[in-house]
Structure 1
Amino acid sequence: MKRMGELIFSAVLAVGVILSGQVQADSLSGLSLKDPYLRLSVGGGKSSYSKGMWHSPGPGDPDVYFNLNGKKPFVGTVAIGATMAPGLRGELALTGTGRQSVTGTWSYTVPTVPGPHADITSASVRSTALMANAIYAPMEATQPEARIQPFLLGGIGIAANSVGDWTRTNAAAVRPVRTFEGRTSYSFAWTAGVGVSVNVSKTAAKPIYLESMLQYIDFGTARGGSTPLPGMGTSTPITPFQFKHSAAVLSVGLRIPF
């Protein structure tokens, strides 16, 4: 999943650099906002949870890393943007996923210590990202009348990652099952995507576009809480359960002028 994101990002960067010469320098020298729009999209894809780990309460215990299972989330986006120059748009986008379960078995420890170790038998995550995006559509600068317009998207922002109550299970422990509180944490987020817009309106003044996009979103690190639930003991982990959350999303939506 991370490799897919790197490939999309590299393609967006490389193609953007190559094609950016099509946007005239005199157009960029006088950036201005016009043709405001609302963009709505929904989609689904595959989430990836990487670098999942925790460090139990014992100071001498190792960091335990997990093989976590990816899910297929619902993803929705609401964005407001405008044209900044021919072929170049900017927007502020709010993207969110539905809540997804996160489970997995232990994989290895640092330093290496023979098992058994804890598994994550119950957890969940929901991520919401506020992104500042730039969209480069080269044909909008050279062939604005074309009905079909390919585009590249890149953006950065901040993500709120909400991890629900999480449970670690270790049959060899004095207390085999322990559940800890959830937590919402904030992380740097970034995105890259490729897509196509199709003019589906009959008016040339304010066209409505149907858009489809393949997008990689890195929501950063999601972290659970360290406080045990009542009846689950009193010791707290040195590092609560945490993991990197990303998603590859195929979406469809509308770009509506106003």
Structure 2
Amino acid sequence: MSSSATRLRNDVANLFKASCHPDIVLPSDGPKDLTTITLHLLGPASTPYSEGAWKLTLKLPAEYPHSPPKAFFETKIFHPNVAASTGEVCVDTLKRDWSPNVDLRHVLLVIRCLLIEPNPESALNEDAGKLLLENFADFERMARLMTSVHALKRSAFASANTSSDLSSVTDSADENGNITTIYADLEVDSGRVSSTNTLDTKNVLRPLELTQRGSSAPNPESPSKPSVKNKDVKPKKKVGIKRL
């Protein structure tokens, strides 16, 4: 097997072995094709996309990792860095800044960061980029409107954000979408490729719920306090409305 094929298999296996972030929902049955990864990206909190979810596809070329993957939003989104017609994502990490040391987990975290901080300077959607530069409030309103019309409902994926998922990423990414924490994690992730363990195809296709299984200590239940009725409290008087 060629080194490119081995690296591809290892990166896909590593992606499904551990969750990137609660907002990145991978299919539980693993990828059907190692060159095409389809998942769902949930809108980060405190952004115009917070109520939505989008189907996202990564297409990996035969030359990966020497050539970058391409990312496409299959669900329509109003965003400067996403082409309105094709859904192609434009980000420097997948273009001029691509490095073979970047892995798929890093790529997905960078795309999530685009929903927090769009870059109008490399806009594929010129209307969105122009609106973002000229009037941010109007951009937010349009992004929210398009999210409500076209996006999937984030609430439909609430079951994916279990306590074990959150515990696995506490040290790497803030659940509130803190951009500083995310980029700190990307720096760590970029160095993990060289230490990736080789996994066979059976492990690559192992269901997500089996490979991400974790445990967290339950919080002790606080004792319930008996309700106390204050007999000295007088009932509020009903205020009637006089008709003229």
> TM-score category by the smaller chain?
under 0.3
More helix by share: 2
Task: State the structure with bigger RCO (CA 8 A, min sep 6), 1 or 2.
Answer: 2
More strand by share: 1
Q: TM-score, normalised by structure 2?
A: 0.27
Q: TM-score, normalised by structure 1?
A: 0.26
